Amino acid sequence: GVGNALPSAKQVKLDKESELRIEVAENSPLRLRLLTGSAEIFGTEIPPEIWLTVPPRVKFAVFTWYGATIEMDGATETDYTADETPMISYVNVHAVLEARRNRAKASSSSNPDSSQGPRVIVVGPTDSGKSTVSRMLLSWAAKQGWKPTFVDLDIGQGSITIPGCIAATPIEMPIDPVEGISLDMPLVYYYGHTTPSVNVELYKVLVKELSQMLERQFVGNSESRAAGMVINTMGWIEGTGYELLLHAIDAFNADVILVLGQEKLCSMLKEVLKRKPTVDVVKLQRSGGVVSRNAKYRQKSRSYRIREYFYGLANDLSPHSNVANFSDLSVYRIGGGPQAPRSALPIGAEPAADPTRVVPVNISQDMLHLVLAVSFAKEPDQIISSNVAGFIYITDVDVQRRKITYLAPSAGELPNRILIIGSLAWLET
């Protein structure tokens, strides 16, 4: 036998406070294990000796505080070690947050202000490492026994659920370096598009809804109140994107703003938040390891995210193909349609589209290959204020027989007949 000598395996020795940066190959996974010392992947310690299998295309780093030897087996796009990282400054932020959590926990839970832990919002351009910093802060906190709430406002490349959504979930354990955030029962609102400019007003309304829902949940839960939140945002920081950042900071009452690698954004935020002395704006260095992803890569990862929802990360789920009558389902679109009948408007005025109007939609061939959300709303007028139970994927529309075929994570009836449609599509690959 070949024993332990893997032909393609390679060992890498890491000095203290350095990292091994890896881009896994396009078509094959990479196996990796820790041989000596200790190391972490984005804030989560990796267990000694055990092989981890990292899926194709993943870009990540194995960082060590005290030194480690890593063994890897498989093809990579790139792999190199770096000893210049901003990790010390990131862990310093963690220490400050930790102190605030302890202070919140020690304070009487009857005082809503002093018992509130840090509410951190991470902002910066795309590919500045926002998601990665969010993840590290959450994993370090979870390692110390906190259950911070992760809020992801990135409808393009979010890490809690499929694209087109904003979502929140408590993080109870350091985030698994391979599997990511476990998808059980996050609080999800469906926006339905992957860019906010499609319906800025709706995006804002949903952000507000999510923040208010979390606020209500925190009232009865001093533990998660004290642990605080980490809020990840989109990379849109100019014009309307900047306005949306200010809106999110306000909606969630954020008190720590981490700005990744952008002097201009940082000073703009410092300037407007001067009148709020309780808000800290902190500039953080962007890691040299952060990889820029082009539009095609982003599109691909959105598609993989949807696939993962139905089939699981390792093809380990079995979604169900279901058939329903048109009459069993009620589909709604948010936005569009005239706000008021022409007759109710002053002469000469054009009816404006109301961005938050809920409009019933007839089931048609146009829905083929779209991803729809299953709302928890009891009535159509509750759709905007309701979170969603999950998603279905339309695979066939038979207009003659008035039957629609869809893929759902499980068999049986949907939890609700009210569905939300947007522009989110998926071509099963």
- Contact set with ligand ADP (CB under 6 A): 19, 21, 59-61, 124, 126-132, 235, 287, 289-291
**Distance between CA atoms of residues 164 and 182, nearest Å:** 18
Instruction: Find how far residue 7's CA is from the centre of its chain.
Output: 38
**Distance between CA atoms of residues 136 and 120, nearest Å:** 13
Residue 261 or 422 with smaller CB distance to ligand ADP: 261
Q: What are the E-state strand segments in 175-242?
A: 187-190, 229-232
Q: How far is the CB of 289 from ligand ADP (least distance, A)?
A: 3
Residue 159 or 224 with smaller CB distance to ligand ADP: 159
Q: How far is the CB of 55 from ligand ADP (least distance, A)?
A: 12
**Distance between CA atoms of residues 265 and 216, nearest Å:** 31
| Tokens describing residue 144 | 């110390």
Please return the burial class of 145, using the count of CB atoms within 10 Å of its CB with bins 0-12, 13-18 and 19+. exposed
Q: How far is the CB of 157 from ligand ADP (least distance, A)?
A: 6
**Residue number closest to ligand ADP, CB atom:** 289
Residue 76 or 405 with smaller CB distance to ligand ADP: 76
**Rounded CA Rg of the chain:** 23
**Distance between CA atoms of residues 260 and 282, nearest Å:** 9
Residue 63 or 218 with smaller CB distance to ligand ADP: 63
- 321 in helix, strand or coil? strand
Q: How far is the CB of 392 from ligand ADP (least distance, A)?
A: 28
Residue 98 or 154 with smaller CB distance to ligand ADP: 154
Q: How far is the CB of 158 from ligand ADP (least distance, A)?
A: 10
Contact 124, 260 (CB under 8 A): yes
Place of tokens 């829902």: 213
Residue 203 or 406 with smaller CB distance to ligand ADP: 203
Q: How far is the CB of 288 from ligand ADP (least distance, A)?
A: 7
Q: How far is the CB of 32 from ligand ADP (least distance, A)?
A: 13
Residue 225 or 305 with smaller CB distance to ligand ADP: 305
**Distance between CA atoms of residues 253 and 279, nearest Å:** 9
Residue 132 or 199 with smaller CB distance to ligand ADP: 132
- Phi, psi at residue 279, to the nearest 5°? -100, 125
Q: How far is the CB of 286 from ligand ADP (least distance, A)?
A: 8
- 37 in helix, strand or coil? strand
| Tokens describing residue 238 | 């100019």
Annotate 20-33 with b (16+ C-beta within 10 A) or e (fewer).
bbbbbbeeebbebb
Q: How far is the CB of 50 from ligand ADP (least distance, A)?
A: 21
Q: Looking at residue 384, what DSSP letter applies?
A: T
Residue 266 or 408 with smaller CB distance to ligand ADP: 266
**Distance between CA atoms of residues 310 and 419, nearest Å:** 17
Sheet holding 9-14, edge to edge: 9-14, 68-73, 30-37, 52-54
